[in-house]
Structure 1
Amino acid sequence: MQCKRFTAEIAFFALFIIMMLIGFNFNTAKCYAYTRNYSASSSETLLDYTAETIKRNFEDVMTEHEIIKIFNKKGVKKYSSLSFPFSSKNQKLKVYFIKIIQPNGNIIHINLNNLKTVTAPFNPEAPIFSNQLLKTIQIPGLSKGSILDYKFRSIVLKPYMKNNFFTEDYFGGLSPLKKSVYKLTIPDGVYYRYAEYGFKEKPEIIKNSKNITLVWSLWNRKKLTPEPMGPGESFIVPHVMVSSVKSWNDVAGWYANLTKDIIKPGKQLKDFIKITASKKTKLAKIKSIYNFVAKKIRYVGYEFGIDGYKPSNVNAIFKNRLGDCKDHATLFASMLNQIGVKAYPVLIPTTEIPNMNPDIPTPFVFDHEITAIKLKSGKFMFADTTSNVTTFGDLPPMDQGRNVLIIVGGKAVIARTPIFPPSKNYISDKEYVSVYTNGSIKVRAAIIYGGAYDMYKRYLYSSISKKNKRNGVLKNIMSIAPNAKLINYSFENGDSMTKPYIERFSFTAKKYAGKNGKKIMIRIPLRTRNELAKITALKKRKYPIKFGYNFSEKTAVNINFPKNYKIMYIPQAVSFKNKVGSFKTAYSIKNGALIFNSIFSVFGYKIKTANYAAAKKLFNYTIKTLSSQVIIFNER
């Protein structure tokens, strides 16, 4: 299980599109090209053939044969290097051949002695140490019109879950596909179940006295094109999953057996729990323990063999102050249980991979672990201490709306994590604006961030330099007025686990408002939302829009006009609502100042294609309304 952490990459992808307008890794033994670029059809897969055999001892032998035609320079770059992943502890890899058939018919045989064994790419944001290795090789001689042909075999020597197998196969990638075959051979008498995703063809089933063979075939599939803000490659490429695990209780029992000897706190940890949980109320005790694990246990993963699934001993995690997602979740649950709070490990697939299918029991589908706390009502509350910027009671967007396996006393409880409402993920923007007779403005603003925005902002606060923080504020105000000059700025609650992140700044901008004789025209609010048009730029969509969370933005602007200027025109207040969300504005006058308020709310976790027209209408309506101007005039 590759533990996931709420890191810059995850947060940035999920939040950047909304705030500033704003790889996929198949979990199989498939070879992949070192460089991926799917913006055009740079290549075509002529043959994608996988033959997998499960033996009686559950050794897993997989042979793959790939034939790919290169169309252009992008294709040459994409396949300029091949990498074959494998585990040094539990897997054997053999590359049979790699050859290039040039357009003139000449064949170049790549010297396999040039294969180099390297460690998997290292991410300093979420350091994971494992026995995952890559055999890599450069592919010289590729050109437009050439064909790349290679074959390799991978053997998994021992299953992590005794007397069981679980596997999956993707039919090619995004490129056009002529023929893809997945052939799975299973010993007769071994239980199995399967599910297809993205296609309806059932397998051809061939039986003999020893084995059952299932054969799936896919022919002449066109190029698959991901859409902006849509699902990734792992969601849209047809694939099949097969498992011999009979029930989720089997998975839960297997995992509980892995952890039974490592979850009891020793004396040092017990003493620390008493001090940390010395608060008066039960909730305060839980929050205190949560904040300790989230802030003080540094994320480092050691995923060697079965340790990819098995957490470390809670006492070692506490002593070393190190651990990955499963270590975080296990330590947190152990500490809570010590103070009488029922807490359990939760295996979860993050939003980067397809959701868990409750009908196909397997530990293969999980890439993360969090914690479930049982409430007095009998319901579960979920917490993810892996994210050191997520306050207790919240969840990173990648954890929301996912089917999960809660392990309660070695038994399985299938549940679904909540999708928080728009009011949970919010930006509250308060602006005080003074307009001058020459059209210049002076602005004082305070922006409060909640939920997903709060996580993202506090991550940036803790990870970027003071200079970059200032540059971020500058970029923000210059998006309002290109000639803006920053006066001052400050940040609040950047290290807090209880209070929302607040950003304050003030600036001036010359000639911001338009002037025509005695009239001054100014757009209120100062920010437009033209970036929304880019999200719904496509005429129609094949896939849903996935912001990954619901969100809202509340704006309040108090604007003071020059002396002797009166309001000539105020845009009409509006209220719009449909299936995707709502937008509402209101204007009022108080002590000579104009007060503008708006609320923009979107159910953006997943906007179905059937609701795309509604999204387009809501976003366009919001853009048009926010482009309206207030007109004032000089009475003298």
Structure 2
Amino acid sequence: MNKLMFMLVLVFLAPNLIFANDYQKAWEAISNKDLKTAKKLLETAQKDPQYAVDAGLTLVLLESFEGHTESVSTSFSQFYNKTDNPNPYLYALWFYEGFVGEYGKKSKEQLKLLKRIQKDDNCNGTIKAASFYSEGMHYLKSNDFKNAKKRYAGIGGLRAWQFVGPFENTLGSGFDKQHAPINKPEQTAQFTSKGNYPIKWFTPPHIAPESWIFIRQHMNEYDAIVYAQTFVESDSDQEAYICAGLNGSMKLWVNDQLVVRQEKEVVTEMDTYNNKIQLKKGVNRILVQIGFSGNSANFMVRITDKNYQPIPNLKESVVYKNYPKVGGDISAKAMSLFSEDYFEAKIKEDPKNPINYILLSKAYTRAAKENQARATIDKGLALYPDNVLLRSQLINTYLVLENRTGVLKEIDWIKQNLPNNYYPLSVEVSELLQDEKYNEAEAVLKKIIEVYGENEFTYLNAIKLAKAQGETERLLSLIKESYKTYPENSTFVALQYQVEKERGKNASKVIQILEKYCEKTYDYQMAAGLIEEYKNQGNAEAIMNLLTKLQEGFPYETSFMRELALFHYLIQRYDRAIKYMSDAIDQGPYRADVWNGMGIIYEQKGETEKALEAYEKSLVYNTNQYDLRHKVNKLKNKAELTQYLPIEDEYEAIKNTVVTEDKKGRDWYYIFYKEDIILFPKGACEEYHSMSAKIVSKQGIDDWKSIRLPYDSYRQSIVIEHAEVIKDGGQKLDAERNRNVLVFTDLEVGDVVYIKYKIQNYTYGRFAQDFWDKYTFNAFVHTDYSQYCLLVPKGLEFEYHMQNSDLKPKIEEKGDYIRYLWSAKDLAPLESETWMPTINDVGMNLHISTIKDWKAVADWYSAISNTQAKIDFDLEELLKEILPKGITAYSELEKSKLIYNYIVKNINYSSIPFRQSAYVPQKPGKTFQTKLGDCKDVSTLFATLGRKAGLDINLVLVDTRDNGAQDLILPSLNFNHCIAKLNLPDGARYLELTNANLPFGAVPGSLLDAMILDIPQDMNNLSETPKLVALKDVIRTPNEIHRYKEVSVEGKDLKIVAKTTRVGTTTSYTRNTYLDLDKKRQRDNMTEAINSSFNNPVELEALSFEKLDELNDSLNYNYTYKVKNEVISIGDMQTFKIPFADLTISPEVFAKNERTHPIDYHIERDLQDEEMTVIIGKDQTFVEIPKNVSLECKGLKFELSYEKVAENKLLVRKSFSTVRKQFGTEDYEALKTFFNKIITLEGQFLAFKAKK
């Protein structure tokens, strides 16, 4: 104590005399990239009691950053005595090798540390529980399951759980659903699962001893809401703390009072979500809702005192008993974590100490508070922007945030600033190997070894390099050396085993390599590999022993029980197999895989009835098992469902086709086109497609030489049964295939293309049991026979609608199914006409759907899109950048425009299947980070930012206008676009966010009159029920073009000085064409555009744009050009055609005398007008000025006027205003007359001559 007091006084009186602030100098050296000097200064600073802790930890971070894990192996043991509060430091740096390290086997020093923590009264219950877990994991990885279980007992987590589920949770959309188990804890209660099958609370006989409850052991689901409950008995009313950790999302109730709510799916350690609670004397119900979408969910719950020590004498039970129902919402504010409180206080006390920013960020990261972690490290970087340790922690936060762009950016910074550091060098080696630059990779790897020595990373990459370069001897030597140096590295063990095996050595000796490893180390993949090798050797006893050991060590692991059961099945020990599979079913009674396994055993045993019972339960729990469905039918001696489909000899139909005169006028025609659908009970759908086309012309060959069969590789499987060319003589030539792409070689006129394929659909989520489809019977070519067949289970309700035909289905019972068959013969080709509606509107279309209504679609999309539309740290910072004066400083319209402009200018449109889901928007943070997104992604980003800024925004699903007005007759998910709807007091704005050059408020033609479905943000407070409507009469910027010209006659030439004003969507065309070009290319493009209006040469003299790069509602540009030899002489007169820039219509549109289809007049422009001043010579005068004309037809208006403003000046005005409308064939003659008059008027000439 005297020594310590002396040191403190000395430091206080004369700090600069001894240590000269070496700690702060060390951080300066780190910022200056002088890491060698920094280490020396830190070693000195550790002698200073004031900085000992911080200096020691900074040195640990620095050594770890440089890859010197051996240097930090005893770090915390040396540091432990220097602090009386190790808890926050342990929490922040738990997984560093110098501390506890990653989960797995521990070094002697690490085991000593764990024991010390368990005995240290200064360590709180959370840290102690974590130490028991880490020590248990050490023994588990050491294959010592008995000691592992003993150490896990010190955790004190709740382990007596009942479960029920799964419930719907597509992308987290089930989090706030009020599922029935919340209020029904009784064992007798029955519920309906997300698969629409009945479920109850069940109690698995085995629960993991480590208190982490893994849902996958009980339910083989990838996205679901699951409930777990236990009943805890307290001998008195007492204050306690509920402490939870999880992988997933969570709600936690105590006596029906919500005490934990974590909506975002996270991965945390134990005791991350803690709250003070009141345990009642007697029974207390603890209920957990765990949600997950794609992850393996788990959770842990502990009940502790204020020091996080487990409360003794609490009794757990799965048996339901009456309990006091407190109810209500969260009872107390969620507690902040001790580590966060500690380092927040340290930063407040000393805001310039960088270590505390790093440690606080690490604490936040461990608690899955990624945004706080990022914000904290940003504050540190604001003080020390060039600090590599801060940037290294920033990389860690980016990794947790899945911000790949940020990670790559920071790695590049480190590479640029510390090119010889271990971290960038190791990244560079990996990149060079990936790029197959082996010589460069070898040089960098040698550099790492020279500076930092050999380690597992260098060995592994040296092995990869030797293999890539074909250096066999070196490869074998490296594998042997790495195995000898790191005998517990599973990769090196596997490599050594493979080498010895390929050398053909004694199999029993070679297998000892795996046995030796598995004896000392638990590694499931290696154990599975060892089992496979035992199988190859036929060593059944060894397999049984190993599987039995795994099952005894993991009695709660359903997959091990299933594997052991199937092993006994293979060696025909059916009773043992049934026993183990029954145990697996008890662990997870709603798992399809274990019921399928039980069926396999009973079937092999000859007990068909029991096999069928098991198989049918498996199908209930997973409907997408097509092979199993066929097997069940066979076991029941029922006909294959395909036999209920129409059966026809298709080769015979091909053989008998006749090319009649009416077919010769086309390039090809369909002999048949058929689609047969089987809908199975409770979902699943199998499709059978067949088609044949007769080639009539060479163009037909081009049309069919290569085709792509439509299917979704993410949700469907495809089996192509036939893909062949059939020659006139009957010879068959198979097509070349690449998955769903077919190439027909040696295709000739007169050949037939024949394709037959099957598609199996794998559906999940809200509409997994629904079906919707549309089938078009006719085409733009002749069709001999067209067929749609739907086979549905009896009792299945669906709606169908036949469009443009009175075709009725033939309905027949087929076993347990009903068959609906629509068929038509000798279908004439649809006539192709200009401005005709789409085939979706005029075709012979059958619509089918089992979806109840459009509200169901809106409800589904609202849930999944809202789940994604979450603000994060980067987006909050972005919003500050977009609205620098603050949210309240702008009007709603101003905020909307600023956010809109940022998105369309900075986010690039991208739609790539492997990056994006067909329906689900990606998280807006990812869209911002990658600067890439499709329509739903950018719309969701706009909605997320806008809502944060206080705007009322919802998404809108769109079936664009080019799909017609009748594409979605019945409810389905067949939308092809997504936009945002901004709700303002004066009315809604519909915003298209995929066009970088479209001004705010402009609505493109693809949206006008398109079919849309509003997706309300809050489906619980609807002013009206969502329905499919056409987008009409919206507030928008009009789409207009205004042109102003001065046309001067200069001899034989016309000189034209022009100004064009484009408004609304028409500005987008100009920006798309000219914005990114240099001046020369702008002039070239403009010259080409003007040239298209004249037959004579054009010379562009001037061109300028006004604010081309600004997204204003209107856009002006000015240009001057000369048309050579445009003026022609006729006797004493001269004449030229009036140079209108925009012709209203092309002559060929109304070339036909008769019309078959309606006229779908859907022009994007609302108005185009032109004002032209024509100037001739002062000594000249106009001859026979045309008359003024005003035309109107069906709401279309055209005006053309001439005003002689001077003897040699003529003012010409033309305007055309449109309506968007579908005109009937009865209107064709009137429209033809109207537009032909316009064509004539726009082709008029002006004549002039010299004054007399």
Please report the TM-score for the alignment, with normalisation by the length of structure 2: 0.44
Match of 1:124 in 2: none
Distance 2:1168 2:1006 in 1: 21
Match of 2:934 in 1: 324
Alignment partner of 1:290 out of 896, 900, 917 = 900
Task: Say if 2:721 is the partner of 1:106.
Answer: no
Task: Say if 2:1184 is the partner of 1:559.
Answer: no
1:356 and 1:413, CA in 2 relative to 1: closer, same or farther beyond 3 A? farther
Alignment partner of 1:312 out of 922, 925, 933 = 922
Secondary structure at the aligned position of 2:979 is classed as strand
Report deviation, 1:629.
Answer: 3.3
Report deviation, 1:538.
Answer: 1.9
1:205 and 1:506, CA in 2 relative to 1: closer, same or farther beyond 3 A? same
Task: Say if 2:600 is the partner of 1:600.
Answer: no
What is the 5 A alignment of 1:111-126? 114-117=736-739
Match of 1:73 in 2: 698
Kindly provide the CA deviation profile for residues 221-244 of structure 1, in whole angstroms up to 9, marking residues without a partner as x.
Answer: 112232123334444442212111
Distance 1:39 1:227 in 2: 20
1:55 and 1:504, CA in 2 relative to 1: closer, same or farther beyond 3 A? same
Kindly provide the CA deviation profile for residues 391-443 of structure 1, in whole angstroms up to 9, marking residues without a partner as x.
Answer: 1111121111022111112365234313679992222111112223x343221
Report deviation, 1:492.
Answer: 3.1
Match of 2:786 in 1: 180
1:481 and 1:265, CA in 2 relative to 1: closer, same or farther beyond 3 A? same
Secondary structure at the aligned position of 1:631 is classed as strand
Distance 1:259 1:145 in 2: 52
Secondary structure at the aligned position of 1:199 is classed as coil
Match of 1:11 in 2: none
Task: Say if 2:779 is the partner of 1:157.
Answer: no
Question: Which moved further from structure 2: 160-169 or 63-72?
Answer: 160-169
Match of 1:54 in 2: 679
Report deviation, 1:497.
Answer: 1.1
User: Which residue identity does 1:521 align to in structure 2?
Assistant: T
User: Which residue identity does 2:737 align to in structure 1?
Assistant: L
What is the 5 A alignment of 1:120-135? 135=740
Distance 1:421 1:275 in 2: 28
User: Which residue identity does 1:300 align to in structure 2?
Assistant: S
Task: Say if 2:1111 is the partner of 1:501.
Answer: no
Alignment partner of 1:335 out of 939, 945, 957 = 945
Distance 2:902 2:916 in 1: 27
1:609 and 1:380, CA in 2 relative to 1: closer, same or farther beyond 3 A? farther
User: Which residue identity does 1:110 align to in structure 2?
Assistant: D
Report deviation, 1:200.
Answer: 2.3
Kindly provide the CA deviation profile for residues 540-593 of structure 1, in whole angstroms up to 9, marking residues without a partner as x.
Answer: 222224444343221111122212223343111111111151111222233552
- Consecutive unaligned residues of structure 2, counting only runs of 5 or more, are 1-662
Secondary structure at the aligned position of 2:1164 is classed as coil
Distance 1:82 1:381 in 2: 41
Secondary structure at the aligned position of 2:1069 is classed as helix
Match of 1:621 in 2: 1237
- Is contact 1:570–1:629 with CA below 8 Å preserved after alignment? no
- Consecutive unaligned residues of structure 1, counting only runs of 5 or more, are 1-37, 118-134
Distance 1:322 1:151 in 2: 38
Distance 1:631 1:423 in 2: 39
- Is contact 2:778–2:827 with CA below 8 Å preserved after alignment? no
Distance 2:936 2:773 in 1: 22
Kindly provide the CA deviation profile for residues 509-530 of structure 1, in whole angstroms up to 9, marking residues without a partner as x.
Answer: 3442233455333443555838
Distance 2:875 2:787 in 1: 53
Match of 1:30 in 2: none
- Is contact 2:1063–2:1113 with CA below 8 Å preserved after alignment? no
- Is contact 2:787–2:824 with CA below 8 Å preserved after alignment? yes
Distance 2:1236 2:698 in 1: 39
User: Which residue identity does 2:1191 align to in structure 1?
Assistant: F
Percent identity over the alignment?
21
Distance 1:82 1:324 in 2: 26
1:609 and 1:461, CA in 2 relative to 1: closer, same or farther beyond 3 A? farther
Question: Which moved further from structure 2: 62-71 or 282-291?
Answer: 62-71
Secondary structure at the aligned position of 2:1104 is classed as strand
Secondary structure at the aligned position of 1:87 is classed as coil
Secondary structure at the aligned position of 1:538 is classed as coil
- Is contact 1:349–1:356 with CA below 8 Å preserved after alignment? no
Question: Which moved further from structure 2: 67-76 or 351-360?
Answer: 351-360
Question: Which moved further from structure 2: 524-533 or 232-241?
Answer: 524-533
- Is contact 1:382–1:417 with CA below 8 Å preserved after alignment? no
What is the 5 A alignment of 1:246-257? 246-257=852-863
- Is contact 1:188–1:209 with CA below 8 Å preserved after alignment? no
What is the 5 A alignment of 1:382-397? 382-397=990-1005
Distance 2:1107 2:1221 in 1: 27
Distance 1:280 1:471 in 2: 42
Question: Which moved further from structure 2: 417-426 or 546-555?
Answer: 417-426
Task: Say if 2:861 is the partner of 1:258.
Answer: no
Match of 2:223 in 1: none
Distance 2:870 2:1147 in 1: 54
Alignment partner of 1:140 out of 745, 749, 766 = 745
Alignment partner of 1:578 out of 1190, 1193, 1204 = 1193
User: Which residue identity does 2:679 align to in structure 1?
Assistant: I
Distance 2:1144 2:1094 in 1: 12
Distance 2:1225 2:1084 in 1: 38
Match of 1:424 in 2: 1038
1:356 and 1:177, CA in 2 relative to 1: closer, same or farther beyond 3 A? closer
1:508 and 1:144, CA in 2 relative to 1: closer, same or farther beyond 3 A? closer
Q: How large is the Cα RMSD of the aligned pairs?
A: 2.8
| Greater share of residues in helix | 2
What is the 5 A alignment of 1:153-232? 153-159=758-764, 161-171=767-777, 173-208=779-814, 210-232=816-838
| Greater share of residues in strand | 1
Report deviation, 1:109.
Answer: 4.2
Task: Say if 2:1187 is the partner of 1:569.
Answer: no
- Is contact 2:892–2:984 with CA below 8 Å preserved after alignment? no
- Is contact 1:69–1:148 with CA below 8 Å preserved after alignment? yes
Please report the TM-score for the alignment, with normalisation by the length of structure 1: 0.84
Distance 1:490 1:252 in 2: 48
Task: Say if 2:1142 is the partner of 1:512.
Answer: no
Secondary structure at the aligned position of 1:162 is classed as coil
- Is contact 2:1075–2:1108 with CA below 8 Å preserved after alignment? yes
Match of 2:879 in 1: 273
| Higher RCO, Cα 8 Å, sep 6+ | 1
- Is contact 2:1096–2:1125 with CA below 8 Å preserved after alignment? no
Distance 1:383 1:39 in 2: 48
- Is contact 1:580–1:615 with CA below 8 Å preserved after alignment? no
User: Which residue identity does 2:738 align to in structure 1?
Assistant: K
Count of aligned positions: 576
- Is contact 1:528–1:623 with CA below 8 Å preserved after alignment? no
1:305 and 1:251, CA in 2 relative to 1: closer, same or farther beyond 3 A? farther
Secondary structure at the aligned position of 1:151 is classed as strand
Match of 2:988 in 1: 380
Distance 1:629 1:430 in 2: 19
Distance 2:892 2:714 in 1: 45
What is the 5 A alignment of 1:17-36? none
What is the 5 A alignment of 1:349-368? 349-355=959-965, 360-364=970-974, 366-368=975-977
1:464 and 1:190, CA in 2 relative to 1: closer, same or farther beyond 3 A? farther
